[in-house]
Structure 1
Amino acid sequence: MDSDGLVAIELSNDEREVLRHGLGEWGGPAHCSDALAVAMDFQSVTDLHEQRRRLRSALIANQPLSARDWRRILVATEFVFTSDVFGSGVDWPITTGYSDERTIAILRALQRTLGAALRQALYGQR
C-alpha cells in the first residue's frame, strides 16, 4: 500500500476485463436498487454509476486503488454476474463474451488474488 492508501494489484488481462465488464453491466442490462447499491458499499444507485466510471477507467489504466474500491469492484462483479434479478445473470455470456465457466474460474482467481493482496496491504498478512 502506498502513502495514499492505494493498493497496486497485478491482474491478468482476463481478470481486469471481467472486472471491467462487471462494472459496465450496471450501466447496461443490470438494474440496481438503492438497497443493493448500499449493500455493495456505494451510497446509492447514483453513486454506483458515478463511481463505476471512475473505477473502470482506473482498471483500464492499471492504476492502484483503495482497498475499499477493490472490494466494491469485486462485489459489484459477483452480483452482476450471478443475479438474474438484479444483474446480467444468464445474459452475461452474451453481453460480455465470457462463458459462465470461464467467468467462475476468473472470479475464483480474483477472490484469491484480491483477498491476499488486501490482507497483505492492510494487515501485513498473506
Structure 2
Amino acid sequence: MPRPSELLDAAECRFLARALGEWGGPARSGDAMAYALGFADAADLLAGCGRLAAELRGDLPLSAADWARVLLAAEVVFASDLVGSGTEWSTTTGWDDAESLRRLRSVQRKLGPVLRGQYGGRPGG
C-alpha cells in the first residue's frame, strides 16, 4: 500500500497526525463512535490513532482500511463538537479552521482512489 509521502504533502500528513492526536486529548469517544470509525472500541481507537499517527510521521505504508480510519477519524475530530475537538480545534491544535478545512478537502480528494473499496462499509483489517 502507499506511503503517506506518495499520496500527500508534508503539511497534510502533519494535519492528519495532529488530528489523530486529538483523540487522546480533548476529543472523547465511546465504543459506538469508535466502532463507526473502524475500531473495535474506544480503547482500540486511542491505541489505533497513536499507531496511525506514528506511521504517518514515519512515512510507513498504510492499508486502505487504515487510510479510511485516518480520514474518518480526522473528519470527525475536526468537525464534531460532541465527540471531537470541534469549536476548540484551533485552540487545541494551533491550526486555523479555514486552513484546516482546506487541508482536509485536499486530503479527501487525494485519498479518493485509495479508498474506493472502503466507501459505505466498515474498514476491514
TM-score range, shorter chain: 0.7 to 0.9
In the TM superposition, what is the alpha-carbon distance from 1:116 to its structure 2 partner? 2.3
Equivalent residue in structure 2 for 1:54, among 51, 55, 68? 51
Which residue in the other structure is 2:108 paired with?
111
Equivalent residue in structure 2 for 1:75, among 48, 72, 77? 72
Question: Which consecutive unaligned segments of at least 5 residues does structure 1 have?
Answer: 1-5
Which residue in the other structure is 1:20 paired with?
17
Greater Cα radius of gyration, structure 1 or 2: 1
CA RMSD after TM alignment: 1.2
Which residue in the other structure is 1:7 paired with?
2
Question: Which consecutive unaligned segments of at least 5 residues does structure 2 have?
Answer: 118-125
Give the Cα–Cα distance (whole angstroms) in 2 for the partners of residues 90 and 14 of structure 1. 21
TM norm structure 2: 0.87
> Equivalent residue of 1:49, what SS?
helix
Q: After TM superposition, which residue ranges in structure 1, 4 or more long, deviate above 3 angstroms?
A: none
TM norm structure 1: 0.86
Q: Does the Cα contact within 8 Å between 2:64 and 2:114 map onto a contact in 1?
A: no
> Equivalent residue of 2:65, what SS?
helix
Q: Percent identity?
A: 44
